[in-house]
């Protein structure tokens, strides 16, 4: 396996559950706790602006509703993506991929860019996000790690930016997933904690793949997984993990 440049601890959605997910406030929080790596979810607006949002709809994490893929950036940019979590975050906007990349690069943080297309836009999103990532991280010492549940998105990402590392996200890895990872020349398997065990980690390592596990919020479980050789732990429990595992940040 090639050298792995990413820290073992990765803040899920920027700042776990302590700050509004996928916003600049989340990355600020993660960084303030000492995190040097963050995972986040990127998709496209109707007019192909890459933004951070987990869900296909705006309902849960903004003050609007409906499918985000039906709106242009001009309609999304004024939304409140922080108030849902608390008054302290009210007014926090939806983050653009460009703004997050600039913040991460300027603070020396590593990125795990989850390509999370709205339904039906898998290929377009994989291509556009990878191409944009390539431009945004031009000249960087460490490339962003792209990942996706969507094989189609990863295939398109490879076409757009073959040099950027890719990982397949899988809830419960099967033989077919290992074949897919080989097809897209993935460097990593991003596996649910529910399916991660010693055998799976060993199998992935045997196939030349690093293993990142989400979402691990229990410190003893993280210790067990790391003991089995897990290469990355993606956590929502950012405060406790930063205190408990400072050497892994
Ligand atoms: O990238 C790992 C993890 O974030 C995948 O699940 O639903 O939290 O994006 P989700
Ligand atoms: Mg994600």
How far is the centre of ligand 1, averaged over its atoms, from the C-alpha of 86 (Å)?
22
Number of domains in the chain: 1
Structural domain includes residue 92: no
pLDDT in tens, 42-101: 999 999 999 999 999 999 999 999 999 999 999 999 999 999 999 999 999 999 999 999
pLDDT tens digits along 171-224: 999 999 999 999 999 999 999 999 999 999 999 999 999 999 999 999 999 999
* Residue 155 in contact with ligand 1 by CB distance below 6 A: no
CATH number of the domain that 185 lies in? 3.20.20.190
For ligand 1, the distance from its centroid to the CA atom of residue 230, given in whole angstroms, is: 17
Helix 151-160 / helix 175-183 crossing angle, nearest 10 deg:
10
Q: Is residue 65 part of a domain?
A: no
Q: Is 54 a catalytic residue?
A: yes
Element (H, E) at 42: strand 37-44
- Ligand 2 geometric centre to CA of 147 (Å): 9
- Domain with 28, as residue range(s), is 9-45+98-248
Which H/E stretch holds residue 15? none
Task: Enumerate the β-bridge partners of residue 112.
Answer: 39, 145
Cα–Cα distance, 100 to 37 (Å, whole number) = 12
Q: What is the pTM of this model?
A: 0.98
Give the DSSP H or E segment for 51: strand 50-52
Beta strands in 54-209 (DSSP E): 110-115, 145-148, 166-170, 188-192
How many CB atoms within 10 Å of residue 35?
24
Does some domain include residue 232?
yes
Ligand nearest to the CA of 215: 1
């Amino acid at each position: 396996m090639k050298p792995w440049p990413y820290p073992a601890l990765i803040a899920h959605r920027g700042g776990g559950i302590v700050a509004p997910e996928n916003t600049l406030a989340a990355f600020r929080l993660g960084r303030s706790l000492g995190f040097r790596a963050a995972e986040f979810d990127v998709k496209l607006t109707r007019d192909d602006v890459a933004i951070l949002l987990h869900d296909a709809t705006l309902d849960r994490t903004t003050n609007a509703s409906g499918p985000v893929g039906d709106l242009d950036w001009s309609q999304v940019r004024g939304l409140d993506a922080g108030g849902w979590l608390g008054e302290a975050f009210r007014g926090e906007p939806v983050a653009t991929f460009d703004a997050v990349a600039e913040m991460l690069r300027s603070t020396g943080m590593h990125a795990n860019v989850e390509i999370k297309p709205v339904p039906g836009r898998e290929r377009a999103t994989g291509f556009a996000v990878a191409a944009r990532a390539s431009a945004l991280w031009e000249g960087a010492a460490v490339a962003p790690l792209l990942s996706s549940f969507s094989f189609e998105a990863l295939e398109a990402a490879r076409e757009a930016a073959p040099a950027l590392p890719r990982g397949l996200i899988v809830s419960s890895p099967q033989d077919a997933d290992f074949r897919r990872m080989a097809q897209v020349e993935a460097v990593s398997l991003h596996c649910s904690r529910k399916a991660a065990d010693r055998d799976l980690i060993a199998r992935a390592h045997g196939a030349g793949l690093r293993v990142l596990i989400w979402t691990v919020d229990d410190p003893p479980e993280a210790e067990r997984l790391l003991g089995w050789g897990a290469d990355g732990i993606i956590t929502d429990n950012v405060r406790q993990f930063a205190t408990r595992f400072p050497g892994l940040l």
